[in-house]
Structure 1
């Protein structure tokens, strides 16, 4: 039933996106059409990566899901940078971190916990990811904020570029560590969370078909995202939304729709290794790869983007990181822990709406 709804949304949304753009329909209407179209495309990306996860295993499957899920946001952010909307980009990065750690993980833990009393996942991965989360958000995001207080704009930008290059290098090293040199080294003898059964499940699509669908959906998302960015100003004025709220909540939710859907589906199937890999892995990818890449890409545009967030953004991200680490560090979860994460997201959402 759900797949039919997304198919109908896509079949209607793509043509309407093109027609509405050519006929210059009102921005508020086009904003809704673009968002629904991106969400429909994201659902197909999620199903394709789920098929790849069945074939290639939870770690690579989760990484692919996070990568293609973040590709949507990366595309939206690049077009936003081109339009000079640096505030929206920084806010959307904040929203991605909060959305993945609190909303995606929270919904996954809650929905899975409603069906299963206790759900387990790889505790070694959880502890490894905890250290990277501390580095990516607490160290690499806080340092530019502190040092920029006594720096000029050009010095702050130079610092941001240096940190960005370092973060990208460490992220690539982390992938090499997890997928090459230490692949399987920290797998527990008893594979919890139902992830051990991925080889028994039939993928929805073949490997080639899944990759083709991912590629086509990514191209379509690029087109729709470029149009979506140009509606932000008028939509913000129409609804009274600030640039910060649009970035933190709206862009982040639309941009990460693929991960939201996939993580919840995996959790409901008791495949917590993949669900956690999507939520936490996507956060690490946003913080250690997407954000630094956007800093470097901004050098090509008139308006540069330093890696400096506002104080509310920083405190929210740091709080989300510590809450997620405390909840996930034991390698198991339940519906109440998911509800705790969701409550934190609601509180922060109210704050950003009223700010």
Structure 2
């Protein structure tokens, strides 16, 4: 039923996106069409990566899901940088991090926890991810903000570039650690990995890869047009750049991960669900954000890795709350509700700011 609905939305949404752009339909209407089309395309990306996850295993599957889920946001952010919307890009990175940890993680824990009393996941991965989250968000994001107060704009940009390069190198080392040198060293306490191969993927490996490629190209086209609607939509609804970036762009850009993580939690595959939520956060902080800093050097306005204090405090709070809840290697519905409550409080704050 859901798949048929997504197919209908895609058949209607993609042509409307093209026709509406060419005929210059009202901006607010096109904003809604673009967002729904991107969410639909993200759904197809999520289904394709889920098929690949069944073939390749939960860890690689979760990484693939996070990567292609973040590809949507990366594309939107690059076009935003090109348009000079630095505030929206930084806000969308903030929204992606708190959205993945609190909204995606919270929904997964809540909905999965309603069906199952307790849901175990790999405690060793949880502890390793906790250290990386503290490094990526608390250290790498806070340090440039603290030091920039005594620096010129060029010195701040130089510091941002240096931090970005270090983050990318460490992220690549993290992948090497998880997928090669220590793959299988810390097995899950759950039997998920032993049963994953028995599932039948929705699509074959070749078809899934083709759908991923086509969906990514379509997202790139729609995203470029979406970016041009932000200013007028913000004025119409009274939304600030900060709110558009933290809430709207982050939710639209991460739609594939939201759906996939919740689906995995419903199937009691919490290793994959946690890998999507936390792994995606790490990818945003350690790869997407640094790449955007380096890419911004190619445009007229470069983007330093300097967030506002409300953004920083929200991200740090989300990190520590997630760590405290997930460090024991199991989840329940109440912990999910606590994460969602924190997200709602931050959302109201950004709306009123």
Using the size of structure 1 for normalisation, the TM-score is 0.99
Give the Å deviation of 1:195.
4.3
Q: Distance in 2 between matches of 1:25 and 1:195?
A: 49
TM-score, with length taken from structure 2: 0.99
Distance between the aligned counterparts of 1:245 and 1:277, measured in 2?
27
Deviation readout 1:199-251 (Å, 9 max, x if unpaired): 11100000111111001100000000000000000000000000000000000
The residue number in structure 1 matching 2:26 is 26
CA distance in 2, matches of 1:6, 1:257: 13
C-alpha distance in 2, partners of 1:29/1:351?
A: 27
How far the C-alpha of 1:191 sits from its partner, in A, is 2.6
CA RMSD of aligned residues (A): 0.6
The 5 Å alignment of 1:32-181 reads 32-181=32-181
| Counterpart position of 1:226 | 224
CA offsets, 1:50-77, max 9 Å, x none?
0011000000000000000000000000
- What is the aligned counterpart of 1:351 among 345, 349, 352? 349
Aligned residue for 2:197, secondary structure, equals helix
Deviation of 1:197 (Å): 1.5
For residue 255 of structure 1, the aligned residue among 253, 256, 260 is 253
User: Where in structure 2 are the equivalents of 1:232-247 lying within 5 Å?
Assistant: 232-247=230-245
Question: In 2, distance between residues paired with 1:201 and 1:114?
Answer: 23
Q: Which residue of 2 aligns with 1:335?
A: 333
Report how many aligned residue pairs link the two structures: 353
**In 1: Cα distance, 2:233 partner to 2:113 partner:** 37
Query: Which residues of structure 2 form unaligned runs of 5+?
Result: none
Please give the alpha-carbon distance, in whole angstroms, between the structure 1 residues aligned to 2:194 and 2:301: 48
1:314 shift after superposition: 0.1
Contact 1:109 1:334 in 2 (8 A): yes
Contact 1:113–1:333 at 8 Å: present in 2 too?
yes
In 1: Cα distance, 2:80 partner to 2:43 partner: 23
